[in-house]
């Protein structure tokens, strides 16, 4: 297979926005377009200007931005049956968007012509040809999205090819084969794309959906068959099960298949781009995402970790830094000494790597705690504190004298009120505080901060970013053991802590204490206090 330049076409702002729970603000659309341009995406589909004012507003606003690489694309349909393209308001809106490139979709499956458009085969071809010719006459680069192409090709290959040839004759700059229902198999996509490539004289692209989990595989199959443009979305967002995930497609094209698409220097920002999009739409990042997920290069089993320590390529298909990721060593009851030593180095436990005896002691303590329900895979800060305690290097920044948490509801239509009273000892001084919160844990967190801020002002910028509760033995009902995982951030770094108890408040307190102590330990270690 010859290596070639693959054009990257992002439709996150249009197709991605059709996913349930995904919505972009006007400013968010501009931010994402600029980020995609900086990353090196060739085409950015901004939306459907004829469908809503927000998309048209984006096209007007993006003109004021100086993009360095990408071309902005307006998306729309062919003219409606029985109208001239210049008289169709939706077609005119594509010109009003004032983008250099326009993508239109048309029907390549007889079923859709009959049951959706309810028009003739002849009129369907005319709708496609007239719209493309009209847009070309107005100076646009025009891509034709052959909607439902693979279903249409399987049903009637001659009809589907006639549609593509009509689009080519009308002046389309490229034909994009769409697996709109997302149900095609790789071998069918490959064979159909090969056939199309042999019959057309213009570039062929691919647009796949993920309804049977093959969107990325189908996109890559089409590239193998000759496609030179891939359409997809960041993180695979899209209608139903989503679109081809560009965060998987791009590094595979470049690093595995050897095709040109993104500069290797820019590839190092792939993970940050993925996280940026999740943050933009307020969706939690997928830790298991290929290449860019937090667990993509995480190692847990003892033999695996031992092998990675000796040579990372034993269990890593690429160097994680190539896509802006990093290696993580997980610790659990499955861990061996190699896990402990590598994890200790990762969290900054100086000197442990030279002591196998200490590693054994930590491993025994770890397994004992995990037997009780603790889990340190997502609680690096608690693991760091555990190391210090086992090695008798831990410094307690404060001691609990006691706390009380009250939850009160003063009427059926009144909200619950949570209040925490806390007493701690710091440097032989007693601090006694009270705080209210949205819930008991929030109130306890507020009371702890209020008690410690006078002594440790650096904790003022620490805030909880996530709070997760897991019931470990649900058969015990309300007496079940509860595990609480907390993620905290100071605006620069993030860390996880864990607490376990039959009482959810006590479990939360354990995790809160570890969170605060880790911050203070970190500041002291860095000489900031």
What pTM was computed for the model?
0.71
Q: Which residues belong to CATH 3.30.160.270 in the chain?
A: 399-525
Give the model's pLDDT for residue 471.
Answer: 79
* Homologous superfamily (CATH) for 7-280: Aldolase class I (3.20.20.70)
Q: pLDDT, tens digit, for every residue of 298-346?
A: 777 667 667 777 777 887 899 999 999 888 766 554 455 555 665 565 5
Q: What is the DSSP string of 424-461?
A: EEETTEEEEEEEEESSHHHHHHHHHHHHHTTT-GGGGG
116 vs 243: CA distance, rounded Å? 23
What order do you get walking across the sheet with 417-426 strand by strand?
399-408, 417-426, 429-437
Under 8 Å between Cβ of 105 and 78? yes
Q: How many CB atoms lie within 10 A of CB 482?
A: 20
Name the stretches of the chain with pLDDT < 70: 1-2, 301-302, 304-305, 329-356, 377-378, 473-479, 526-529
Give the model's pLDDT for residue 468.
Answer: 83
Q: Give which of 337, 334, 328, 338 is closest to 307, Cα–Cα.
A: 338
Give the model's pLDDT for residue 71.
Answer: 97
Give the class (CATH, top level) of 399-525. Answer: alpha beta
340 vs 358: CA distance, rounded Å? 10
Instruction: Find tokens 């509760």 and name the residue.
Output: 469
Q: Which residues belong to CATH 3.20.20.70 in the chain?
A: 7-280
482 vs 503: CA distance, rounded Å? 7
């Amino acid at each position: 297979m010859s290596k070639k330049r693959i054009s990257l076409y992002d439709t996150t702002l249009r197709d991605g926005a059709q996913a349930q729970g995904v919505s972009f603000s006007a400013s968010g659309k501009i931010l994402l377009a600029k980020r995609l341009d900086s990353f090196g995406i060739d085409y950015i589909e901004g939306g459907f200007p004829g469908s809503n004012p927000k998309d048209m507003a984006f096209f007007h606003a993006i003109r004021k931005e100086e993009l360095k690489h990408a071309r902005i694309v307006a998306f729309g349909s062919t003219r409606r049956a029985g109208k001239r393209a210049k008289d169709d308001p939706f077609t005119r809106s594509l010109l009003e968007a004032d983008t250099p490139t326009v993508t239109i979709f048309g029907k390549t499956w007889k079923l859709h012509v009959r049951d959706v458009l309810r028009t003739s085969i002849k009129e369907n071809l005319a709708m496609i040809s007239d719209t493309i010719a009209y847009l070309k006459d107005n100076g646009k680069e025009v891509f034709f999205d052959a909607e439902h192409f693979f279903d249409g090709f399987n049903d009637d290959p001659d009809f589907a090819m006639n549609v593509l040839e009509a689009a080519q004759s009308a002046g389309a700059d490229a034909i994009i084969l769409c697996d709109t229902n997302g149900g095609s198999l790789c071998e069918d996509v490959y064979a159909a794309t090969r056939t199309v490539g042999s019959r057309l004289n213009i570039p062929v692209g691919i647009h796949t959906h993920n309804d049977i989990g093959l969107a990325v595989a189908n996109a890559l199959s089409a590239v193998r068959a000759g496609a030179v443009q891939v359409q997809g979305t960041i993180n695979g967002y899209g209608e139903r099960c989503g679109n081809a995930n560009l965060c998987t497609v791009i590094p595979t094209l470049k690093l595995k298949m050897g095709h040109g698409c993104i500069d290797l220097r820019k590839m190092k920002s792939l993970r940050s781009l993925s996280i940026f999009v999740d943050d933009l739409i307020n969706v939690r990042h997928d830790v298991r995402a290929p290449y860019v997920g937090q667990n993509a290069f995480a190692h847990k089993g003892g033999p695996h970790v031992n092998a990675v320590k000796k040579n990372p390529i034993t269990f890593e298909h690429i160097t994680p830094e190539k896509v802006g990721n990093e290696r993580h060593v997980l610790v659990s009851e499955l861990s061996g000494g190699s896990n402990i030593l590598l994890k200790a180095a990762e969290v900054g436990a100086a000197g442990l790597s030279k002591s196998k005896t200490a590693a054994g002691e930590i491993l025994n303590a770890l397994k004992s705690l995990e037997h009780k329900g603790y889990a340190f895979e997502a609680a690096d800060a608690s693991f760091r504190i555990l190391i210090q305690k086992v090695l008798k290097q831990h410094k307690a920044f404060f001691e609990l004298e006691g706390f009380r948490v009250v939850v009160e509801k003063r009427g059926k239509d009144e909200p619950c009120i949570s209040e925490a009273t806390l007493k701690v000892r710091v440097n032989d001084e007693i601090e006694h505080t009270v705080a209210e919160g949205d819930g008991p844990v929030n109130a306890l967190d507020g009371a702890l901060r209020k008690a410690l801020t006078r002594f440790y002002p650096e904790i003022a910028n620490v805030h909880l970013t996530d709070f997760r509760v897991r019931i470990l033995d649900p058969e015990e009902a309300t007496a079940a053991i509860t595990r609480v995982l907390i993620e905290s951030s100071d605006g620069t770094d993030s860390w996880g802590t864990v607490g376990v108890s039959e009482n959810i408040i006590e479990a939360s307190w354990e995790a809160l204490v570890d969170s605060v102590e880790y911050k203070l330990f970190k500041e002291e270690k860095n000489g900031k206090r």
